[in-house]
């Protein structure tokens, strides 16, 4: 199985940039298609799709969210961070089955 590694916690100040990383145990890219996706989950709520195929913003997601990366290293950036962005963020790969998730990064306020 492809293992996705995320840092457990990231502390950030409001108005600053947050950079959340996800590293895969093997490449999740096929040619130029990067099969990494990002979700946001607030406490007590279901996950919400933010970014698909590494860099495409899902419908209704604010432009302060962006994604980048290829191969094994991917990044979700939130700039600037707002109070409403305090949540857990999960990466997920669809390069091969089983479709695994990272353990999540909890975004906290400094």
Partner 1 sequence: EVQLVESGGGLVQPGRSLKLSCAASGFTFSNYYMAWVRQAPKKGLEWVATISTSGSRTYYPDSVKGRFTISRDNAKSSLYLQMNSLKSEDTATYYCARHADAGDWFAYWGQGTLVTVSS
Give me the residues that bind partner 1 (CB under 8 A), please: 35, 37, 39, 45-49, 52-53, 58, 90, 92, 94, 97-104
To partner 1, the closest distance from the beta carbon of 13 in angstroms equals 26
- Of the pair 13, 56, the CB lying nearest partner 1 is at 56
To partner 1, the closest distance from the beta carbon of 15 in angstroms equals 29
- Of the pair 41, 77, the CB lying nearest partner 1 is at 41
**Residue 93, beta-bridge partner list:** 36
User: Distance (Å, rounded) from C-alpha 2 to C-alpha 79?
Assistant: 29
User: Distance (Å, rounded) from C-alpha 9 to C-alpha 12?
Assistant: 10
- Of the pair 64, 106, the CB lying nearest partner 1 is at 106
Collect all residues with Cβ–Cβ distance below 8 Å to 10 and sequence separation of at least 6: 18, 19, 20, 105, 106, 107, 108
91 closest CA partner among 76, 69, 109: 76
- Of the pair 15, 60, the CB lying nearest partner 1 is at 60
Residue 21: CB atoms within 10 A of its CB come to 16
To partner 1, the closest distance from the beta carbon of 6 in angstroms equals 9
């Amino acid at each position: 199985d492809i293992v996705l590694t995320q840092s457990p916690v990231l502390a950030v100040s409001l108005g600053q940039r947050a950079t959340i990383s996800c590293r895969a145990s093997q490449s999740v890219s096929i040619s130029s298609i990067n099969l990494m996706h990002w979700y946001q989950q607030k406490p007590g709520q279901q996950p919400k799709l933010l970014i698909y195929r590494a860099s495409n913003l899902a419908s209704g997601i604010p432009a302060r969210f962006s994604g980048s990366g290829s191969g094994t290293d991917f990044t979700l950036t939130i700039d600037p961070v707002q109070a409403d962005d305090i949540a857990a963020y999960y990466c997920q790969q669809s390069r091969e089955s089983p479709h695994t998730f990272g353990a999540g990064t909890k975004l906290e306020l400094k």
